[in-house]
Chains A and B, each alone.
Chain A
């Protein structure tokens, strides 16, 4: 039985917001938590080094390899400087850097080992290192991303990494630092208002995540060119080719989407991939075989493959064969579907009266639990006057409705959505005859232009002494 050269692989965003400002937006916080989970998983693995390929370290003259044994600096990002400095110090596996450069040189590409004081390591690698390997428990290796390389070349650079691991007798954690869609907001936004730049980008990200959740790394590589064109993939999302080359160009992985969120409009992810079969190094001869890379024929093949896959997904969501797929797990929490599925607990929503979250996101939908007028952190219900025995003396349906809408707004915002994205509302009143007109008046003031579908019913009672509750469905 061959030993796998890779114990685990990750695709992670390199946006500094996740490291430096994760408390400013719920989505950034969830990415931070996902990084923490990934770090814990890495710490459980028996690996010799952590190998980074970041789309933010660009090279022109072939490939460069970090070979300074202890590069250190106080880094400030060129664009996100207001977030603060990131001091760093890496422990570099210089022997592996040499091995990797030798393997790449054998393929005919220019290589250079970098050992210069003050060489600017890119933000993405620094962010990933700080979050995944903060104390240099593993030595690191870093290779550049050639700005001109296409699929075949980038795949070969990944394959060369596998060969270098084999030559050096080492086992690695592989980390691709790359966003999915890479279109930014062009105006300053409040962190809490962050969202994927466009619905189109979001939909394409989900297609890719669907495949990654299934462990289909090779399929992602096949679709990369079209994805990049449609969703402005980060450096054409060519990192997917590198990762696929390194991982053996197969779909034999267990995929785990730990987080998918927007960071300044880009598609930021933390995805884990665990090999279900050993990752081995290709022999040199097979790597040197010429292909039709870059030709029209290859391009057409790729598009055709992708269109076939997209069509089969659209028509038969569960039709993808299980033969070569590893079991899928999604978190948090685990689920059986491949779509993003996780709980949202709002810091500003009233505490639930049972074991349920404020909201749950499933795919493109945000489902909110029933929300009443009660204030967060107390048992106060706006507009309700209680008698000494605890019974309700009087209530103001207008005030209760306003409070319900305010509570709904807070939960939506904490989930990255807003009132403007509400699609459907079910309203429960305890006294239709007495309260409908007043509730309707308050409702109209907020929703007349948003125009979600609505159903209002009378119920015998609600769980607390409230007179109105909303059940909301929204877009994330």
Chain B
């Protein structure tokens, strides 16, 4: 069996607004338009990912928060209705998701071997988190590739950003080892925004783009600083300043998804492709792809 590999990693933010504006059949609310820059960026990224023909998509989202270790899905199929508790008027999505259980359990096993605490979901009534569903929909709206969900350990929230980063790095290494052993070609999705301070109000028409802007200038400066580092392949430096970025820009990367992905990918030193940057209700969001093939690297 050939050694498995990570064929791409994507910073894949999950504002429900992007699915809402797209009007897919799975989502009940209807929109006129909205957030096109981000959605078109996702379309470009989606085409690149499709061309890679991955076996599995692996997503890590802050909206599956777990307090005791990392959790994995242990059933082959989950069906249900996902309603965003914060934006229920925008996201009420019917899902039917195929899980790659062997790979899910293999990553769990690697985590166990590394001394991490894990748990497996075996209750079919378990509702999948809306963050993961949104990122997965935006990368693969046909849902024709099996997926693995990984929960976000909340260590950073209870101890420090530095401890959270170490936990996420350990998870990344375990993920990489399991993928290599599996022989599968995988795409990783870090499901999070960059800066993450929201406005607490919303226009009458949620997709009225005349209201859309960054929450404040400091957030924008931090987002640009971080994106520039990605564009230059400076992910080691980015990991170094991640705790400060989290603190200064209220960043959603606090949940560990970006650190997990970069560490799993061996901290790539080649330029990432920034497909789009845009704000959603004041937060900073970027669709960014690390693709070793397109960058001339074989991973």
Contacts and interface: CB of A to CB of B under 8 A. Distances in A.
Interface of A: 57-62, 74, 76, 78-79, 81-82, 84-85, 109-110, 112, 114, 116-120, 122, 146, 148, 182-188, 232, 264
A146 B201 CA distance: 12
B69 interface: yes
Contact of A79 (B68, B202, B281): B68
A119 B202 contact: no
A346 B201 CA distance: 54
Nearest to A187: B117
A58 B85 CA distance: 8
B155 to A, nearest CB: 6
A136 to B, nearest CB: 22
A81 B74 CA distance: 12
B125 A85 contact: yes
Contacts of A110: 200-202
Interface stretch (B86-94, B96-104, B180-188): B86-94
B68 A61 contact: no
A79 B123 contact: no
B201 A85 contact: no
13 contacts: A57-B85, A60-B198, A61-B86, A74-B125, A78-B66, A81-B71, A81-B121, A109-B200, A110-B200, A120-B85, A122-B85, A148-B200, A264-B68
A118 B81 contact: yes
Nearest to A120: B85
B127 interface: yes
Interface of B: 64-69, 71, 81, 83, 85-89, 92, 117, 119, 121-123, 125-127, 129, 151, 153-155, 158-159, 198, 200-202, 281
B83 A187 contact: no
A166 B260 CA distance: 52
B200 A119 contact: no
Contacts of A76: 123, 125-127
B215 to A, nearest CB: 11
Given A79-B66, A81-B126, A112 B200 contact: no
Contacts of A79: 65-68, 71, 151
A147 to B, nearest CB: 9
B88 A114 contact: yes
Nearest to A146: B200
A295 B134 CA distance: 39
B233 to A, nearest CB: 33
Given A122-B85, A186-B69, A264-B67, 14 more contacts: A60-B86, A61-B87, A76-B126, A76-B127, A78-B126, A81-B119, A82-B123, A110-B202, A114-B88, A118-B92, A120-B83, A120-B85, A186-B155, A187-B69
Interface centre among B64, B83, B129 (most CB of A within 10 A): B83
Contacts of B71: 79, 81
Contacts of B200: 60-62, 109-110, 146, 148
A232 B158 contact: yes
Contacts of A184: 67-68, 154, 158
A34 to B, nearest CB: 23
Contact of A183 (B65, B85, B126, B158): B158
A188 B117 contact: yes
B158 A186 contact: yes
B169 to A, nearest CB: 16
Contacts of B67: 79, 184, 186, 264
